[in-house]
């Protein structure tokens, strides 16, 4: 709605350090937690491909995995939405992935698709 009807020029995908959803998925993937509740099960199911990919590539720190999940989320969004992909390509939309560092009070850019300056 926001992209098509309102013509927003920017989508921000914002993660944060020490994310509980990422931690729960890491723990479930390593067999340290049973994700039986419907909500947590759905989260773990959506995040686990990123956790497995990260671990297969030697990434084990929660913040590294969070950064990868931000990238994966954006790639999935662009891949699933022709509208978003077309708007990025035409220069009408940018998608930025960032990670909020709670302890520092800082936002760190992870990835940008499109031109943020327009």
Q: In this structure, what DSSP letter does residue 36 have? A: -
Going along the chain from its start, the domains and CATH numbers come out as 10-113 (3.40.1050.10)
**Tens digits of per-residue pLDDT, 80-106?**
999 999 999 999 999 999 999 999 999
Q: Which pTM value belongs to this model? A: 0.88
Amino acid 3: pLDDT: 97
CA–CA dist 74, 77 (Å, integer): 5
**Tens digits of per-residue pLDDT, 3-56?**
999 999 999 999 999 999 999 999 998 888 777 778 888 889 999 999 999 999
CA–CA dist 112, 118 (Å, integer): 13
Reference 54, options 44, 41, 68, 35; nearest CA is: 68
**Look-up of token digits 């994310």:** 19
């Amino acid at each position: 709605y926001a992209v098509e009807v309102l013509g927003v020029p920017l989508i921000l995908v914002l993660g944060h350090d020490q994310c509980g959803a990422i931690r729960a998925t890491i723990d479930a993937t390593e067999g340290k937690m049973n994700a039986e509740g419907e909500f947590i099960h759905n989260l773990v199911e959506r995040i686990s491909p990123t956790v497995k990919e990260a671990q297969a590539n030697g990434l084990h720190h929660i913040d590294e995995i969070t950064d990868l999940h931000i990238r994966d989320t954006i790639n999935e969004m662009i891949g699933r939405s022709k509208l978003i992909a077309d708007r990025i390509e035409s220069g009408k939309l940018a998608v930025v992935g960032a990670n909020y560092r709670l302890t520092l009070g800082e936002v760190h850019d992870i990835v940008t698709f499109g031109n943020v300056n327009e």
